[in-house]
Amino acid sequence: MSAPVEQEVPFYKQKWFAPLIGGSGVAALFITSFALTANFVGTSSTWNAIGDKVNKIWTMSFFGSLLLFIVSAIYFNQDSPKTIYFVLLLLCLSLGFSYSALAVAAITSQ
């Protein structure tokens, strides 16, 4: 009896490929969103001046979050024991970012 021959799986069918590509897209969307936010912070406080920029930032953040959900669903359907660590990480990040957003919003501009 001979040992079964393992066929090599193409890289795009590997279980890490879809989460890696999707995760790169998530990172790009969120980094762009943060860069746009940092670019116009302090320029003006009227909605007419910042409305278009804010809508662009909200759109990028929304699609980044949606892509994060899709990538997470794909990854955790493949390897479910690590799900709790990812959920805990997102929980802690969201609490930290929420608190920092409230702290920044409480700062009054002069």
Name every residue whose Cβ is closer than 8 Å to that of residue 62 and which is 6 or more positions away in sequence: none
Lowest mean pLDDT among 31-35, 41-45, 96-100: 41-45
**How far apart are the C-alpha atoms of 46 and 60, rounded to whole Å?**
21
Angle, vertex CA 99, rays to CA 95 and CA 102, nearest 5: 140
Angle, vertex CA 76, rays to CA 101 and CA 13, nearest 5: 120
Stated pTM of the model: 0.65
Q: Please, what is the average pLDDT of the chain?
A: 76
Domain borders along the chain are: 12-79
What is the mean predicted confidence (pLDDT) over 78-101?
79
pLDDT for residue 96 is more than 70: yes
pLDDT for residue 30 is more than 60: yes
**How far apart are the C-alpha atoms of 72 and 84, rounded to whole Å?**
12
